[in-house]
Amino acid sequence: MSSDNGRRRGGDSGQSGEHGEQLALIRESVRKAKEPKARPRTWRGAKLAGELPVARVLVDKGPVHLDRLWDYAVPAELDAQAQPGVRVRVRFGAGTRQVRGGRREGGGLLDGYVVERVAESQYQGPLAALAQVVSPEPVLGPALLRLCRAVADRYAGSLADVLQLAVPPRHARIEAEPSPELLPPPAAPAPGSWSRYPAGPAYLDAVVRGDTPRAVWTALPGPHWAAELARAAVAALASGRGALLVVPDGRTAARVDAELTALLGAGRHVLLTAGLGPEERYRRWLAVNRGAVRAVVGTRAAMFAPVRDLGLVALWDDGDSSHSDPSAPQPHAREVLELRAAQEKAAFLLGAFGRTVEAAQLVETGWALPLAADRAVVRAAAPRIRTVGEHDEARDAAARAARLPTVAWEAAREGLRHGPVLVQVPRRGYVPRLACERCREPARCAHCAGPLEARGQDGGLHCGWCGRESGPWHCPECGGFRLRAQVVGARRTAEELGRAFPGVPVRTSGRDHVLDTVPDRPALVVSTPGAEPVAEGLGYAAALLLDGWALLNRPDLRAGEEALRRWLGAAALVRGQEAGGTVVVVADPALRPVQALVRWDPAGHAARELADRAELGFPPVSRMASVTGPPEAVAEFLAMAELPDGAEVLGPVPVPAALPGRPRRPGDAPPGERWERALLRVRPGQGAALAAALKTTQAVRLARREGEPVRLRVDPPDIG
């Protein structure tokens, strides 16, 4: 039998009472609450603020952060400082309330933000007072708060979690410094290389005029996109508004920063990246928050930068996985910037060499317009692309030693006569599966059909899902018995190429040592995808894209899109075909992404992928979310959740165990535990309802502490 304590406390004064003093105390607080005017103007003897004496506070993180606002009394001496947006400390927790003697004080001090000041509280009970105003700096303005709320709702996460991503930690010393003077807006930019796009100058003009054009921009290959991005930001500044550019990594941010400096000089923009260190980052963030600087270029955390009067948000290369924040609730920069463009009435520019299905959907729904060059211009700017099958064995002994097909060998040799040659090799760890050497059929576990993996160097096989050892393997399709091992890494490829091309310098760029640029001289540059150095001058004379099968064989819905994105990224660094640039891709020419590369048609590829997704009911046409955790917890969660009409539950299925080598990602089970994952799918337009249902269920389960918590992920990245 449950106690009726809560109900009485809740304020039903009609209960007959036998609990003497206790009940009298409760009645008293209820009476006070029902007559707000009777609320004392003092708190434990201290005077309260005369105007708006109640602060609504968001508690930043508690043991269990409760995703709602809490009312606190504002003492008179904090009245002036406790303005909306400032950081405060409050006592929170049972024991805070005044007990009989009225002297008790308990609960820990927690950090929070004043969200608003109001005249009265709805709370039926005595309010505790704000303990402290940490700083009078209003760091959570109304626009940022609204954005964070929307992001929390979109991702079924808590506001506190989102604020942790959006508001940087405080440094008192930095706050004491003055921010620089706001410089006057620059003149409208000349179109520059934007005139290569028929709609380019018009897009800039619209931004300069103060309009809010939205575009999905397919960038021409070559190095001009960084300057074009900078020019778009200048257009927003020229309109008297602010600009925000988000790019995947610090290296890219530095390039765009340099272009902005070239156009604007110093002082009108800031670079915001993690590499700055917390203090410098806070200094720059404050300059933006105070309105002293109106343009920002940065990596994903900058997507929340509180730019005043936002006129343009732009995102470069939305297919790059680093645009997904790894911290809960894992918001994606593209989605956040879409929300910002809508909420803050800003122009939107999504640029890339490739196109994601999400970008294709923005175009298809008419939310954004395509911004691309004419076919003839594209063809002239892009290198010549040749394909070669994997089994095209080279006759030349040197080429065979380097595992290069004849066509690739010849392209490299020819390219080296004119400049540097890029060789793109997938990262070693990137290939998740072993496959039949003859027919490429992935090797699967005989028990659970999970992917087989090689353990260490000894060649023993085990299943990546159930961990069982596998005996001698033979291919169920073609009867082959040899497995294709993981891709040869960049280093060994470099060694082999060095032997094949004696006298040619070989440089490598990869995870550990990323080169920014290479000189315009003959050299072989071996790089993993994403780490390709920019070749100075005209660009690379040629590029070889090796081991295409490894990129395409990933068990991921996005494998084709991702392979194309990586190829385009490398090929865009190569000279145009009129300047003799050549790219050789080693992959089956019948495959859709390979054909899209040959035709340099990322928009067409994305449109077809989107159509496929629509037919299969996959995101982004439908909206999906995952629920991960111990099997009982997932089952209970699903039983309790009131999902929107027509929602489908797929699974749950066991989550593949986290591999010993790989770092644990959110959603992986802790070592030794078996977790399950269910996927939820709703029709287009029901995404918000799904997120709301998940959030409610999670909140109820956490509050009641029913069973173990589950992890929620809206837009799970690895379906397939």
Q: Report the residue from 2, 16, 365, 457 that binds DNA according to the rule CB under 7 A.
A: 2
User: How distant, in Å, are the alpha carbons of 121, 397, 583, 637 from that of 128?
Assistant: 12, 82, 69, 35
Query: Residue from 22, 42, 195, 327 that binds DNA (CB under 7 A)?
Result: 22
Degrees, nearest 5: CA angle 494-496-499: 110
The single-letter DSSP state of residue 195 is G
Contact (CB, 8 A) for 681 and 617: yes
Query: Tokens representing 292?
Result: 């002293």
Residue among 121 and 289 whose Cβ is closer to DNA: 121
Give pairs for 647-651: CB < 8 Å, separation 24+.
647/680, 647/681, 647/682, 647/686, 647/690, 647/693, 648/680, 648/681, 648/682, 649/678, 649/679, 649/680, 650/678, 650/679, 650/680, 650/681, 651/676, 651/677, 651/678, 651/679
Q: Among the candidate windows 118-126, 165-173, 199-207, 636-644, which touches DNA by CB under 7 A?
A: 118-126
3-state secondary structure of 652: strand
In the complex, what is the shortest distance from the CB of residue 109 to DNA, in angstroms, rounded to a whole number? 11
Q: Which is nearer to DNA, 92 or 304 (CB)?
A: 92
104 versus 511: smaller Cβ distance to DNA: 104
Q: Among residues 641, 594, 512, 534, which one has the least CA distance to residue 226?
A: 534
Query: Interface with DNA includes 9 (CB under 7 A)?
Result: yes
The one among 30, 72, 594, 713 contacting DNA by CB under 7 A: 72
- Asked whether the beta carbons of 55 and 140 are under 8 A apart, the reply is no
Stretch that binds DNA, among 57-65, 180-188, 209-217, 242-250 (CB under 7 A): 57-65
Least separation in angstroms between residue 700's CB and DNA is: 11
Q: By CB under 7 A, which span of 1-9, 228-236, 511-519, 585-593 interacts with DNA? A: 1-9
Closest CA relative to residue 93, chosen from 66, 114, 116: 66
Ligand-binding annotation for 439, yes or no, is yes
Q: Residue 64 or 187: which CB sits closer to DNA?
A: 64
- State how far the Cα of 206 lies from the Cα of 187, in Å rounded to an integer: 14
If binding is defined by CB under 7 A, does position 184 make contact with DNA?
no
Binding-site member from 67, 76, 81, 96 for DNA (CB under 7 A) = 96
Choice between 128 and 286, CB closer to DNA: 128
User: Which structure tokens are listed for 130?
Assistant: 């704000």
Number of H helices and E strands in the chain, helices first, is 21, 31
472 binds DNA (CB under 7 A): no
**Helical ranges in 159-199 per DSSP H:** 159-166, 172-176
Binding residue for DNA, selected from 11, 61, 84, 125, defined by CB under 7 A: 125
Phi-psi region of 516 (alpha: psi -120 to 50; beta: other; left: phi over 0): alpha
Distance CA 549, CA 587 (A): 6
Among 50, 95, 429, 537, binds DNA (CB under 7 A): 95
Minimum CB separation of residue 120 from DNA in Å reads 11
Comparison of 633 and 678: residue with beta carbon closer to DNA: 633
Cis omega (within 30 of 0) on the bond before 519?
Answer: no
Q: Is 66 in the site for DNA (CB under 7 A)?
A: yes
Burial 454-493 (b: 16+ CB within 10 A, else e): eeeeeeebbbbbeeeebeebebeeeebeebbebbbbbeeb
Member of 32, 97, 345, 428 binding DNA (CB under 7 A):
97
Q: How far is the CB of 630 from DNA (least distance, A)?
A: 15
Is 6 or 646 the residue whose CB approaches DNA more closely?
A: 6
485 sits near DNA (criterion: CB under 7 A): no
Q: What are phi and psi of 379, to 5 degrees?
A: -60, -40
Query: Is 94 an interacting residue with respect to DNA (CB under 7 A)?
Result: yes
For residue 244, give Cα distances in angstroms to 250, 267, 307. 15, 15, 7
Task: Give the nearer residue to DNA in terms of CB position, either 106 or 429.
Answer: 106
The count of chain residues that interact with DNA, using the rule CB under 7 A, is 38
**Residue 76 beta carbon to DNA: minimum distance, rounded to whole angstroms:** 16
- For 179, other C-beta atoms within 10 Å of its C-beta total 17
From CA 576, how far away is CA 600, in angstroms rounded?
A: 12
**Nearer to DNA among residue 61 and residue 400 (C-beta):** 61
Binding to DNA (CB under 7 A) within 697-716 occurs at 703-705
Among 10, 17, 240, 666, binds DNA (CB under 7 A): 10
The structure tokens listed for 514 are 């990323």
Q: Can residue 106 be called a binding residue for DNA (CB under 7 A)?
A: yes
Contact 689, 680 (CB under 8 A): no
Of 432, 406, 425, 559, which is closest to residue 484 (Cα–Cα)? Answer: 432
Rule CB under 7 A: say whether 5 interacts with DNA. Answer: yes
Does the footprint of DNA cover residue 42 (CB under 7 A)?
Answer: no
Instruction: Quote the least distance from Cβ 274 to DNA, whole Å.
Output: 30
What is the nearest approach in angstroms of DNA to the Cβ of residue 107? 6
- Please compute, for residue 297, the number of CA atoms within 13 A of its CA located in the half-sphere on the CB side: 27
Positive/negative CA dihedral, 619, 620, 623, 624: positive
Nearest distance in Å: CB 10, DNA: 7
Residue 587: CB minimum distance to DNA, A: 51
Do residues 489 and 425 lie in contact, with contact meaning Cβ atoms separated by under 8 Å?
Answer: yes
Strand spans (E) along 150-308: 214-218, 242-246, 269-272, 295-298
- Binding to DNA (CB under 7 A): which residues in 546-605? none
Q: Does 116 bind DNA (CB under 7 A)?
A: no
Question: Which member of 92, 225, 501, 675 binds DNA (CB under 7 A)?
Answer: 92
Distance CA 462, CA 205 (A): 59
Residue 306: Cβ within 10 Å count? 24
Q: How far is CA 602 from CA 513, 560, 678, in A?
A: 30, 11, 32
Using DSSP's 3-state secondary structure scheme, residue 540 falls into strand
Q: Is 148 annotated as a binding residue?
A: no
For DNA, give the closer residue by CB, 128 or 264: 128
Report the residue number, 127 or 264, with the smaller CB distance to DNA.
Answer: 127
Does 310 contact DNA by CB under 7 A?
Answer: no
- Does 436 appear as a known binding residue? yes
By beta-carbon proximity to DNA, the closer residue of 104 and 482 is 104
| Among the listed residues 114, 127, 341, 362, the single contact to DNA using CB under 7 A | 127
Number of C-beta neighbours around residue 277 at 10 A: 10
Least separation, in Å, of the C-beta of 38 and DNA? Answer: 16
The residue within the footprint of DNA, chosen from 104, 209, 417, 521 (CB under 7 A), is 104
Minimum Å distance from CB 3 to DNA?
5
Answer whether 516's CB lies under 8 Å from 533's CB.
yes
State the DSSP H helix or E strand holding residue 387, giving kind and residue range, or none if neither.
strand 384-388
Binding DNA (rule: CB under 7 A), the pick from 24, 64, 187, 190 is: 64
Nearer to DNA, 106 or 198 (CB): 106
Q: Which residues bind DNA (CB under 7 A)?
A: 1-3, 5-6, 9-10, 19, 22, 62-64, 66, 70-73, 90-97, 99, 104, 106-108, 121, 123, 125, 127-128, 703-705
Task: Give binding residues for Zn(2+) as ranges.
Answer: 436, 439, 445, 448, 463, 466, 475, 478
Task: Give binding residues as ranges.
Answer: 436, 439, 445, 448, 463, 466, 475, 478
